[in-house]
Amino acid sequence: MRAVVAALLITLAAGSVRAQTAPTTTLPPPVPPASQVAQQTYQREKKSPGLAVTLETLCPIAGAGSLYVGRDGDKAGVLAGLSGVAAGVGVGSVFWLLHTENQHPSGVSRAENDTYEGIAITLLVTSGIVYLLARASGISLASQGADEHNEELRQRLAAP
């Protein structure tokens, strides 16, 4: 009887082993080399110096290119404020010139009117120069900021 029970157990155990299927393994997709991953990340996150300069050139307020790059926000803010104030002073001085030109004074008031016109012209020229300097500084800052951002990104990722 023991022999029958042992044979039965061996048969049952062998049947369960045969009923099992061989496990199938699915290989994950091949992982690209680290340098390729770094290069892809760099290409995705880099900033275009051409786009930064174009934004800076097309936007009437200085600092837009630097804001796109995401660097030197404090400098971009100063340039934006400076160009905004210069534009406001320029527009105000044009209106002041138009107002003083419509006046027809004589005598002492003529000298006063000439002084006001001189001040308005001085403010107009000064604000124009400040505005142009702010715009030129913004273009330089945008290009330089994009280059620095890309170089720091390359070093951080150790991309080729």
30 with 112: CB under 8 angstroms?
A: no
Q: Which domain holds residue 151?
A: 32-157
In a domain, 42, yes or no: yes
In a domain, 1, yes or no: no
Segment 12-29, tens digit of pLDDT: 555 555 555 656 777 677
Give the pLDDT score at 21: 61
Question: Which residues, given as ranges, of the chain have pLDDT below 70?
Answer: 1-23, 27, 30-34, 107-108, 160
In a domain, 81, yes or no: yes
**Token representation of residue 4:** 């029958």
Phi, psi of 23 (to 5 degrees): -65, 140
Give the pLDDT score at 73: 84
Whole-prediction pTM: 0.69
Amino acid at 6: A
Burial class, 39, CB count within 10 angstroms (exposed 0-12 / middle 13-18 / buried 19+)? middle
The total number of structural domains in the chain stands at 1
